Chains A and B, each alone.
Chain A
Amino acid sequence: MSATSQTIRISADNIPVRRSGQVTIALVGTPNAGKSTLFNRLTGLHQKVGNFPGVTVERHVGSLQVEHQRLELIDLPGLHSLSGFSQEERTTADVLFGRQTGQQAPDAVLAVVDATNLYQGLYLLQQLLELGLPLVVALTMSDAAERSRIAIDRDKLSELLGGVAIHPVVATSGAGIPGLRTALGNVADQAPAAFQPVWPELFEEARRLVGGEVGTLKLAAVARDLVDAASAQPGTDPHQAPETVAASSAAVFNGSPALAQEARIRYGWVRNVLDQVQSRGSGVAGLGARVSEFFNRPVPGTLSLFLVMAVVFQAVFAWATPLMDLIDGATGSLSAWVLGTVGDGPLGSLLADGIIAGVGSVVIFLPQIVILFLFILLLEDCGYLARAAYLLDRVMRSVGLSGQSIIPMISSFACAVPGIMATRVIPSRRDRIATILAAPFMTCSARLPVYALLIAAFVPATPVGFLNLQGLVLLGLYLFGIVMGIATALIMRRTALRGANATFALMLPEFRVPNPRTVLIQLLGRVKVFLKRAGTLIFSVTVIVWALLYFPRYDIDGYVEPRQRALSSELSEDERAAGDEAIENLGAARQMEQSWLGRAGRAVEPAFAPLGWDWRITSAVIASFPAREVVVAVLGTIYAVGDEAEQATLADRLRRATRADGSPLFTLPVVIGLLVFMALCLQCAATLAVIRRETNSWRWPIFAWCYMTGLGYVAAMLIYQVGSRIT
C-alpha cells in the first residue's frame, strides 16, 4: 500500500455520516408484537430475504417510497433485550451498533411496541432509545388493548421517553399506517429523543473507559459490552468484547451478575412509567384469553395437540398426493413429447431425462412443502406453536431435547430440509444441533417410494389383526426411524453436545386469528428459500446422475435393431410391440451396465458384498446417495423394465432376480438389510447442504453423513450376516 493512500485514511467513526438518497431504518420489537405484520403492511411485496453474512440469521429487507424519499426497512428478528442470548439477538444488536459485517448502522429505528405488552416493550425501548438514533414508536395492537380495557396515556408516555413520537397502529386493518409512513419519511432528519440513560453509572463507566469524545451509539455499544462481558453465557459464544472492556467490566460489577442488576434497574423504571401512563380496567376476558385458558389445561391441551398433529400429517400426505401425481404425470408427458420432437439422441436425453426430470424432481416436493409451511406458519401466527412446545417439553426433555424440537421433528416426516430450517426457533445451540442430527432419521416422503417398492415385492400381504403384514412393516420402519432419531439425540447430548439443559423460558402468546396476508407473504418467502437452497442442488444432482448413466455410450442401436428385426413376423401387432419394448429395455440395461455408474457399481461391489449386494444393487444405491428416491428409477433401468415401469412389473422382476449361480438375489436378509440401510442412510444432498447452511460449518454435515452411512452399513451387514445363517 502506498504512503499517500495511508495518509488519507480516516477512521470511519470520525466522519459524520449523512447518506444522500436512501435512508435505512431498522425495525425492532419484541416477539409477537406484530412486527412482521407491520413490515408486510409497510413494504408489501417489495422485500428480499437473505442471510446476514457469516451467520444463519435471515435478513429481511423491504423498501417503501414516501413522497420522494426511498426508505429501506430492515426487519430484524424479534427480541426482548439487546444482550445477546441467541444468535438472532446478537445479530440484531450488532446491526444496531453498526458492527455487523457488510451493514452500516441504521439511520433511524422503528420500534414496535405491543400496546398489550408495554411491560416488556418498554424494557427493549429503553435500550433502543439509549442508542441515540432518531426513533419512531409504532404502538401496535391498540385495538386489542382497547378491548382488554388497557388505557394508555400516550402524551405522558412520549414525555417520559424524551419526546419521542408514538404512532398507534393496527397493522391488520391498516389503521394509523399513513401517519406512520409520513413520520418515517421525516425520521432521519430529526434529532434523537432527549432520553436520559436509565442506568447512568453504566454509561459513565463506559465513557471513562473509551476516554475522549465518542458518539452516543459507540457509547451504548461499550455499555452493552460491559454488561454482557460480565455475564458470559454458557453454551453461547459471547460477542468478543475487547479485553480492556472485560477487565473493566469485572471491576465495575465486582463479579456480581450485571445482567440481573440491569434487569432490576430497567424493570424498576418500567414499573414506575407504567404507574403513570397505563390503567387497566377490570374488563371481561376476551375470546382469545378464554380459548387460551381452555387449551392451557393439561388434558384438553394435550388432546388437542395430538389432533392438530394428526390433521397436519393427514394434510401433508393425503392432500399433497393428487397434486404430486399430477406433477409426475405432467413431467412424464413433457419428457415423452420432448423425446418425440427432438429425437432420442444425447440432446433429447439430456432434456428429457436430465433437465425435465431434474426440474420435476424438485417441483414434486412443492405440494408437501407448501402445505407443511402453510400449517407451520398458521400455527405460529395464531400462537399455537409455543403452546405445543410447552406441552411436549417434558417428553422431549427426557430424550435430551426441548419442547421447541417438536415442530422440526414433525416437519421432517415430510422432508428434513424444512424440518432443519425450522430448528431456528431453538435458542440453545446444543439442543439445536442435536435436533438437526435427529431430523434426517424421520421417515421422509422420499423414502416412501423405496419402502413401497421393496415391501410390495417381498412382504406378503398376510392379514395381521386388522392390518396386514405390509402395513405393519411400513409402520415398523416409521417407528424405527423415530427410535433411531431419538437415540441419536440422546447419545449426542451425552457425548459431543453434553451440557446442562438449556433455559426454557417460553412466552406463551394469547391465541389470535392468523393474519392471512402475513402468512401468505411469509409462505412465499420460505418457498423461495427452499427452491433456491434445495431446488438448485436436487436439480444439478439429477443432471449429474443422468450423465453418469448416459456415458459412455454403448451401441444400443447395434444391439436392439438386429434383435428387433429377428422377431418372428408371425407375431401379432401387440406381441411385436411388447417384444420391441423388451428388447429396448434390455438395451438400456446393457447401457447401464457399462455406464460410468455401472462401472462404479462393479468397482465397489466387494465393499458391499458383506451386505449381500451384487453390483446392480450397489450401483442403484450409489446413484441414490445424492437423492434417495432415485434408487427406484435406477433399479427400473438395471432390471430392464424401463425407468417408468409400473411398480408391480419392477417388483415382479426383483423377485425373479438371481445371482450368477442362479440362487435368488433378494433373499429376506438382503431385503430387510436394504430397507434398514435406506432408513438409516443420509442419502440426500439437499439435507447436507441445509445442515451446512444452518450450522455454518462443514463439520456437522460431514459428521452426520459418516455417522448415518456407517450406521446403515453396519446394520445392513449384521442383518445379512446373521439372517443368512439362520434362514
Chain B
Amino acid sequence: MNFPKTPSVARFDRTLATLERGDRAVIDAIDDADPMVQRLMTLGLVEGVVVERGHSAIGGDPTEFRVHGLAISLRREQARCFSVTDIADA
C-alpha cells in the first residue's frame, strides 16, 4: 500500500494557524482528508467548538490550543487544516 505523499494543505484563509495569542474563534470547516487530521478530530477538534490560542514553543511551533478547558498542542501544518470564524464575527 502506498502512503499519501504529504498532508494536503487546506486552502482556508483564516485558520487556527493564523490566530494570535489569546484569540478565541469557532472552528467552522475542517480539511478532513488527512488521517492525521481525523485523529485530531477524535480528540475533540470538530466544527462548532470554541478554540483559544495559547503560547507557542520557541521558534513559533508547535502551538498550544485550548478546547473545553483542555490544552492540545498542534504543529503548524495541522493547525492550517482547521478553518475558523472569529467569535466577534459569528
Residues of B within 8 A of A116 (CB): 69
Q: For chain B residues 49-81, which have a beta carbon within 8 Å of chain A?
A: 49, 54-59, 61-62, 64, 67-75, 78
With known contacts A260-B41, A267-B44, A299-B58, A119–B36 Cβ distance under 8 A = no
Measured CB to CB, the nearest residue on chain A to B66 is A508
Q: For chain A residues 215-262, which have a beta carbon within 8 Å of chain B?
A: 231-235, 257, 259-260, 262
- How would residues 565 to 589 of chain A score, 1 for a CB under 8 Å from any chain B CB and 0 otherwise? 0000000000000000000000000
With known contacts A81-B42, A260-B41, A296–B64 Cβ distance under 8 A = yes
Contact A267 B49, beta carbon cutoff 8 Å? yes
Task: Select one of A120, A234, A259, A504 contacting B73, CB under 8 A.
Answer: A504
Answer yes or no: B37 CB below 8 A from chain A CBs. yes
- How would residues 23 to 52 of chain B score, 1 for a CB under 8 Å from any chain A CB and 0 otherwise? 000000010110111111111101111000
A393–B32 Cα gap in the complex (Å)? Answer: 24
A260–B37 Cα gap in the complex (Å)? Answer: 8
- Smallest CB separation, B45 vs chain A (Å): 8
Most chain B CB inside 10 Å of its own CB: which residue of A260, A297, A299, A302: A260
- Smallest CB separation, A548 vs chain B (Å): 47
Contact B62 A390, beta carbon cutoff 8 Å? yes
A54–B68 Cα gap in the complex (Å)? Answer: 38
Residues of B within 8 A of A83 (CB): 42
Contact B74 A504, beta carbon cutoff 8 Å? yes
Contact A499 B38, beta carbon cutoff 8 Å? no
A231–B35 Cα gap in the complex (Å)? Answer: 7
Contact B59 A394, beta carbon cutoff 8 Å? yes
Measured CB to CB, the nearest residue on chain A to B32 is A260
Residues of A within 8 A of B57 (CB): 298, 301-302, 390-394
Task: Select one of A81, A260, A292 contacting B71, CB under 8 A.
Answer: A292
Most chain B CB inside 10 Å of its own CB: which residue of A117, A263, A280, A392: A263
- Smallest CB separation, B2 vs chain A (Å): 9
Residues of A within 8 A of B48 (CB): 268, 271
Residues of A within 8 A of B40 (CB): 503, 505
Contact A503 B39, beta carbon cutoff 8 Å? yes
Residues of B within 8 A of A263 (CB): 38, 41-42, 46
Answer yes or no: A502 CB below 8 A from chain B CBs. yes
Measured CB to CB, the nearest residue on chain B to A274 is B68
Task: Select one of A85, A299, A301, A506 contacting B72, CB under 8 A.
Answer: A506
Task: Select one of A117, A148, A231, A504 contacting B75, CB under 8 A.
Answer: A504
The 4 closest A-B pairs by CB, nearest first: A503-B36, A263-B41, A260-B32, A508-B71
Q: Which residues of A does B touch, CB under 8 Å?
A: 80-81, 83, 85, 116-117, 119-120, 123, 148, 231-235, 257, 259-260, 262-264, 267-268, 271, 274, 280, 292, 296-299, 301-302, 390-394, 397, 403, 499-510
Known: A259-B41, A397-B75. 12 other contacts (CB 8 A): A85-B39, A119-B44, A119-B67, A120-B43, A123-B44, A260-B38, A391-B57, A394-B59, A506-B62, A506-B72, A507-B72, A508-B72
